[in-house]
Structure 1
Amino acid sequence: MIDTFVQLIFALPLIVMVMNFGVTLLLRIGAKSTFMEKNYALQPQVSVLLPCFNEGEHVFRTIESILASDYPMEKVEVIAVDDCSADDTFVWIERAAQRWNNVRAFKNPVNSGKHQTLSRALSHSSGEILICIDSDCIFDKRAIAELTACFNDDSIGAVGGRVGISNARENVLTQCQTVVYYYSFQIMKMLQNWTRNVICISGCLFAIRREHFEAIEEQVKHRNWFGVGVRDGEDRYMTHLLLLKGLKTYINISAQCWTAAPNNFKQLFMQQLRWRRSGLRDLFWTLRQFGRNLKILHPLSMVNLLVPGALQVLWPAMCIYGLATGWLAEHFFRDMQFYFGLWVVVGLLFNFYVRRRNPEQKVSPLLIGALGMWFIADSFLITLVALCTFDVGEWGTRGTSVRKV
């Protein structure tokens, strides 16, 4: 009986993934309401808020891609704020400000984190729609127009876009992340789109009405974990705050940007750790505000908020139990063979799907199988570290500054 129960627990992530894939795929193919009507005649004033840290010359290319957008440039401004980078990032945003008159460059007096830097950028902006981005993103020409077209519905508080991987075929790590990103935006978020309750709009491309950002600004700036300031995960927190105000959130997969995925294990671990901290904090906050969430959010949104986080917390506990009882040693090799084969199939299906749509995103199925097993094993360590470091937060994989508050 106990053996069957443990097997079921270890199988739960796979069961949830399969069920989520099936339901969301059906919604994407068969439910028109999954996608909202867009009004391209809407062309509000747009401010792109660009917090920068240790980005170097790449931030110049980011600004260049924004200003090459298929959108009236007299209605676009870029507010770039450097958070005391240890490299020449500020030099490059100053160079961009000198080249284009709708780019403005600022620098924080001390290193403060992305959330505080976004707030400072907001104070210098004037747009009706604010697009918060990461400083390593490259915009598709239609990204701004696609984002603003979704604000035709007054109940929409924020709109996100689709994030693609610019270095998809660099190595095995980037190939695996290409599959994960593609699945996340093209499939997984379709159920959330159907309910208009997307629970996390990526900070790479996050468009929000000005009045809504101003309404939650202080909460974002002063977020803390038992009195210790929190720097990361502002995108998930902002999305959740908007949902609790009764607003709708949506992902427009036609609004695209490109970002470079981590290409080594250290950067990948730091990225996954940052995401895990954000998700687990959101889980505990949801439990703390359970009644309020249950009253306002769609029931399926509650499932999306609670089940993944609960499985992440349960996974390390079950691994420890499996090691202590010898159950894991008995089943490890058989299960790893199964998971390897499953990830290879995922890679094959992914290649079949993207070969006509996004051929540059093709991957090696065998490499995906190998790294897929690493993700399963590594999630144990990442969850344990995340649970012990909720009060730690940096600028992702970009290093640190010598000056901090």
Structure 2
Amino acid sequence: MSTTDCFLPLSDLSGQSIQHPTNPESARVRRTFIRIIALTMIILCMAIVMGIRWNNFTDYWYQPIVNAYSIAVALFIFSRFVLSVFYKPPKSADISPTVSIVITAYNEEEAIYRTVECCYAIDYPADKFEVIVVDDGSTDGTLREVRLAQERWPQLTLVAFERNRGKREAMAAGARAATGEILVYVDSDSFIRRDGIKKIVQGFVDPTVAAVAGHTEVANVAKNGLTRMQQARYYVAFRVMKAAESIFGTVTCCPGCFSAYRRECVMEVLDRWLNQRFLGVRATFGDDRSLTNMLLRKYRIIYSSDAVATTIVPERHRKFLKQQLRWKKSWFRETLIAATFMWKKPPIAAVAFYAQFLFPIVAPILILRMCVWLPIVNDDFISPIVYLFGTVMIGMMFSAYYLFWKSDRNWIYGLYFTLYYMIFLIWQMPYAIATQRNNGWGTR
């Protein structure tokens, strides 16, 4: 694979982009037409959802808890879309601090070489960045691939563990070995775009910013329906949810795929983060969210939509569901911890945070009541239909938002993911809460 492959747009990598006319004017007209359709869909879906939610107001006292929940969820989702409109990525301040790119790897022999290749091909002064690979006791050919990379780039630093010690230990080892002002963590199956480092460091011109979350999309999007759903989900999660959080400097999770940290801030919390315990057991997952959380107490965390990387996501449902369960466990733990200080943040950000904490916990109970209890006990089959229709409309809003910004055929998978979440993923939350003390990764 050539170095230039690292920087191909996702649509080129996936082969799924809608083919535009070669004539620039025709392409512009087509793009405008697609955006008009997408905007019309967003407005129509919003109107329908608001119409449904109006019944929650007029019939509020018949089911006050359910109606309050429905109203709050709709307001929360709409607020994210509205706030994301006002989001702007960090402006270029033409700064180029020294950077240490840390890649933590465990059994990634198929992707690690390309990850290193992309890091060395970035558009950044060669004397201002270094690349460090921490091999976390891999049992496959990962170490061999890294040594091959060292033959091509002798300056590549390798830290190799004799046995698997966990991602957190690997990240900490990388931080200690680093010499740069900025730590950039990249997963071993993620690929930075050529201008990614230059873009992500611009956020650090603000001395109150301790970390910047990069924008991540799916490298293997064309594999199957599951990867396409994740592409749509990733895009909305970053460009809507993280964008809304970034306005207040309260991004709650810098993803391991591609994120940057001010090294001196990381070193302040390194030992405490490395030895974190929860419910009497050592925390061994949710490392990125945990590190973000510790820095968020004192500093601002923002998002840079211009700093782009792609990542390889699970292609099989079993692996994907295990990943999602692990993420939910860390989400619950870290959100519970963050709840002790988020009230100090700007009011809008704080209210949104606590609402977002409550919704996934309450949702399984209310869905059971709506879709099981009401039809069986009250012979009410209308409420479940209305609820499901409203869910479909929200999913279509996500899909239309994706279509507005990215004219590829994956847009409809935003709706599919919404339904997938309601049918499968939402039921993981009670189990994730009940098994907090089980800190196994589930994928190793």
TM bucket normalised to smaller: 0.7 to 0.9
| SS of structure 1 residue aligned to 2:406 | helix
State how far apart, in whole Å, the 2-side matches of 1:169 and 1:48 are: 28
State how far apart, in whole Å, the 1-side matches of 2:249 and 2:142 are: 37
Whether the 8 Å CA contact 1:38–1:152 is kept in 2: the answer is: no
Q: Residue 363 of structure 1 aligns with which residue?
A: 410
Deviation at 1:327, TM superposition (A): 4.8
Tell me whether 1:73 sits opposite 2:126 in the alignment. yes
Deviation at 1:64, TM superposition (A): 0.2
Q: Residue 392 of structure 2 aligns with which residue?
A: 340
Q: Residue 262 of structure 1 aligns with which residue?
A: 314
Deviation at 1:2, TM superposition (A): 4.8
Deviation at 1:259, TM superposition (A): 0.6
Whether the 8 Å CA contact 1:169–1:363 is kept in 2: the answer is: no
Aligned 1:193-342 pairs, distance under 5 A: 193-245=246-298, 247-287=299-339, 289=340, 292-295=341-344, 297-322=345-370, 325-327=373-375, 330=381, 331-342=383-394
Tell me whether 1:18 sits opposite 2:99 in the alignment. no
Normalising by structure 1, report the TM-score.
Answer: 0.86
CA offsets 1:198-242 (integer angstroms, 9 cap, x no match): 222212112111111111101211112222111111212212211
Q: Residue 58 of structure 1 aligns with which residue?
A: 111
Q: Which runs of 5+ in 1 are unaligned?
A: 29-33, 401-405
Tell me whether 1:9 sits opposite 2:57 in the alignment. no
TM-aligned CA distance change 1:227 to 1:380, over 3 Å: same
| SS of structure 1 residue aligned to 2:332 | helix
Question: How many aligned residue pairs are there?
Answer: 380
Whether the 8 Å CA contact 2:137–2:162 is kept in 1: the answer is: yes
Q: Residue 31 of structure 1 aligns with which residue?
A: none
Deviation at 1:103, TM superposition (A): 1.0
Normalising by structure 2, report the TM-score.
Answer: 0.79
Identity of counterpart residues, as a percentage? 24
Tell me whether 1:38 sits opposite 2:87 in the alignment. no
Deviation at 1:388, TM superposition (A): 2.1
CA offsets 1:3-61 (integer angstroms, 9 cap, x no match): 45325435643442123212332x23xxxxx4433322x22221111111121130110
Whether the 8 Å CA contact 1:10–1:318 is kept in 2: the answer is: no
Whether the 8 Å CA contact 1:47–1:77 is kept in 2: the answer is: yes
Deviation at 1:283, TM superposition (A): 2.4
For the aligned residue pairs, the C-alpha RMSD in angstroms reads 2.3
Q: Residue 391 of structure 1 aligns with which residue?
A: 437
Whether the 8 Å CA contact 2:371–2:384 is kept in 1: the answer is: no
Greater Rg over alpha carbons, structure: 2
State how far apart, in whole Å, the 2-side matches of 1:148 and 1:158 are: 9
Whether the 8 Å CA contact 2:100–2:183 is kept in 1: the answer is: yes
CA offsets 1:344-384 (integer angstroms, 9 cap, x no match): 453244223212xxx4xx3152x543442121122332102
Deviation at 1:254, TM superposition (A): 0.8
User: Alignment partner for residue 135 of structure 1, among 166, 171, 188?
Assistant: 188
TM-aligned CA distance change 1:380 to 1:253, over 3 Å: closer
Whether the 8 Å CA contact 2:328–2:432 is kept in 1: the answer is: yes
Whether the 8 Å CA contact 1:179–1:347 is kept in 2: the answer is: yes
Tell me whether 1:148 sits opposite 2:201 in the alignment. yes
State how far apart, in whole Å, the 2-side matches of 1:242 and 1:391 are: 24
Q: Which runs of 5+ in 2 are unaligned?
A: 1-60
Aligned 1:58-207 pairs, distance under 5 A: 58-207=111-260
User: Alignment partner for residue 375 of structure 1, among 378, 398, 421?
Assistant: 421
